[in-house]
């Protein structure tokens, strides 16, 4: 990815004391843009504005600390004020601006601080001071680390640590590229690339602000296969980094459902298992308590034959139509690793689905109890 073709940077605007909290991506000739937004019915003001301005945007403005969701007409007015001010400072049309926000729901944007930050960023633009890393830092909330991924023609960053579930998550993602193929093909490839974000879950929650933006300068034509391979790579890398940085997480848990009758059944059961507090706390305690998995499968509503059901934890068979003898001490040692897994085989069909989640710890409770 060649950052000589566009401007990207982040600054400390005062929303978060002494930390990066405001970022801009700017291409004076306009991006070819695609986006996907939260499935939550309560959509934040910046999403409503961005959905209208996707045709050929030139600037994306993002802030952390304040989600600008649940803020009513005043929140929408403040978002428009930010867009209007940015359009004036950078000399673009107001409908050429995309907005994204993340942070606490229900608090109004401190517009004056954001305006001061935009002024700083415009100064950096004139000085040709680009910093993708500063932008990646500006979008973080409870994240413990910056999340970026890069290939020859793509650069991407994301934030996400809690409120992570299929159909996006509390998560912002920005994918930048100089590359282009046929626009209809790009749209299809982009949609397919996002599926990996529906295979992660921290806590089963989906926020009001979730957004994935693909912004291309379209200055470089590449092969369709290369385009697909590279965007798939950055999305896959970011999804793994998000789940590894789950709030308070000590374990990354891979869940595999096999032998389902339909893809829908496999996906539903995998997600149902990934959202179980009992299973997640058992893994946090490094307990080989297969009964929690067994019980959750039976409660799922999926038509399962107990005599066919097979369960493995970290590759160790613990149930096969009935309890199986296994060495509990050996399995406990496997559960002490950071990357652990369990597999449920229904043995009723050929459909499989994989999802990644993490354990539920005291740290998760503490972070969310103190978040506001």
Q: Which regions of 49-184 does DSSP assign to beta strands (E)?
A: 59-63, 97-101, 147-150, 154-159, 172-180
Strands annotated E in 188-333 = 200-201, 211-221, 252-260, 310-313, 316-320
- Output the CA torsion 146→158→164→63 (10° steps): 90
Asked if residues 195 and 239 have their Cβ atoms less than 8 Å apart, the reply is no
Cα–Cα dist 312/318, whole Å: 6
- Annotated catalytic, 170? yes
Closest listed residue to residue 83, CA positions, set 137, 46, 117: 46
Give the active site residue among 102, 148, 151, 170: 170
* Rounded Cα gap, residues 68 and 253, in angstroms: 33
Q: What is the three-class DSSP state of 225?
A: helix
CA distances for 138 relative to 20, 62, 103, 158, 220, angstroms: 4, 8, 12, 10, 28
- Non-local CB neighbours of 173 within 8 Å, separated by 6+ positions: 156, 157, 158, 160, 197, 211, 212, 213, 235, 238
CB atoms within 10 A of CB 228: 18
Catalytic residues: 170
């Amino acid at each position: 990815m060649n950052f000589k073709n566009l401007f990207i940077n982040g600054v400390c605007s005062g929303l978060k004391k002494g930390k990066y909290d405001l970022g801009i991506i700017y291409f004076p000739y306009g991006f070819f843009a695609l986006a996907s937004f939260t499935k939550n019915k309560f959509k934040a003001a910046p999403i409503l504005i961005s959905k209208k301005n996707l045709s050929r945007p030139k600037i994306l403005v993002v802030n952390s600390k304040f989600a600008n969701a649940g803020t009513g007409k005043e929140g929408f007015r403040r978002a428009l004020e930010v867009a209007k001010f940015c359009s004036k400072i950078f000399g673009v049309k107001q409908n050429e601006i995309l907005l994204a926000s993340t942070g606490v729901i229900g608090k109004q944007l401190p517009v004056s601080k954001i305006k001061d930050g935009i002024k700083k960023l415009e100064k950096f633009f004139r000085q040709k001071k680009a910093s993708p890393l500063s932008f990646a830092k500006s979008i973080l909330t409870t994240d413990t680390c910056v999340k970026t991924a890069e290939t020859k023609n793509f650069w991407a960053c994301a934030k996400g640590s809690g409120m992570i579930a299929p159909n996006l998550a509390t998560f912002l993602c920005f994918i930048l590229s100089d590359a282009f193929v046929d626009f209809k093909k790009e749209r299809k490839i982009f949609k397919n690339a996002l599926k990996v974000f529906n295979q992660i879950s921290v806590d089963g929650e989906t926020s009001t602000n979730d957004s994935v933006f693909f912004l291309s300068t379209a200055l470089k034509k590449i092969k369709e296969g290369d385009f697909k391979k590279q965007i798939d790579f950055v999305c896959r890398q970011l999804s793994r980094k998000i789940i590894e940085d789950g709030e308070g997480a000590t374990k990354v848990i891979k869940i595999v459902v096999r032998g389902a009758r339909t893809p829908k059944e496999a996906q539903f059961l995998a997600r149902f298992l990934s959202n179980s507090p009992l299973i997640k706390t058992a893994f946090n305690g490094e307990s080989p308590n297969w009964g929690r998995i067994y019980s959750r499968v039976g409660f799922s509503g999926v038509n399962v034959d107990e005599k066919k059901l097979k369960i493995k934890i970290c590759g160790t068979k613990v149930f096969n139509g009935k309890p199986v003898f296994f060495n509990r001490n050996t399995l406990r040692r496997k559960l002490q690793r950071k990357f652990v897994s369990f597999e449920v085989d229904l043995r009723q069909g050929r459909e499989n689905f994989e999802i990644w989640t993490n354990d539920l710890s005291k740290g998760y409770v503490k972070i969310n109890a103190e978040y506001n």
